[in-house]
Amino acid sequence: MNDKKKLAVLITGAGSGMGLHTARTLALQGHKVYAGIRDPDGRNIQKSAALRDDVESRDSKVDIVDLDIHLEDSCQKAADTIMHHEGAIDVVIHNAAHLFIGYAEAFTPEQIASAVNTNVIGAHRLNRAVLPYMRARKRGLILYVGSGITNVTAPFMAPYVIGKAGLDALAENTAYEISQFGVETTILMPGVFLNGTSHFETAEFPKDKDVLKDYGGLQKD
């Protein structure tokens, strides 16, 4: 987007890692940032308070919005809140994701489904909440934070890779359709990012212990 005006931006997964840094950076540049964090006044109150305090200490402002991409109502409420206050949603950044580490066979089907739910369907839920507003204005940008891991052979992360590949497919298949309404699409494919992320400490591991035993011989002390 070439418009240099200050933009209303919604970022998912803004409590840590790239989402946190993106929210801080854009807020300090003067954009109207809505940082999506699950339960920001409850279990994630420390994350939301740290972001708000950091930005406000630099004479800028960031708004924290309660956003759970697993819930349609939460996505819709976040979109409606921004529209109520700003009258527009200029940019949505799909950053929320969940990491899985381990042998592919040992992940249960439910774990694969969970990865797709978080890393793909969550973005689709939010798209369905924000796109009607963007289409009505005939402008906007949907930015998907994918991963370079979908372009290389990456063992031990199958659910995550599946989820990120699905996110790319969602972006590409949606892009043409929404472009007819003036809504742009971008996929960002970063490499490994460790600065301030909770990705690894909250990573999920395979639940099928019997299969893990069979793979035990591959591990070295």
pLDDT, tens only, 79-130: 999 999 999 999 999 999 988 899 999 999 999 999 999 999 999 999 999 9
Cα 209 to its chain centre, rounded Å, is 30
Domain ranges in the chain are: 8-218
Task: Report, in angstroms and rounded to the nearest whole number, the Rg of the chain calculated over CA atoms.
Answer: 18
The CATH number fitting domain 8-218, selected from 1.10.10.10, 3.40.50.720, 3.30.70.20, 3.30.365.10: 3.40.50.720
Local confidence band at 155 (pLDDT 50, 70, 90 cut-offs): confident
Residue partners of 89: CB distance under 8 A and separation at least 6:
8, 10, 79, 82, 83, 130, 133, 134, 140
Of 122, 118, 115, residue with least CA distance to 206: 115
Q: How confident is the model at residue 156 (pLDDT cuts 50, 70, 90)?
A: confident
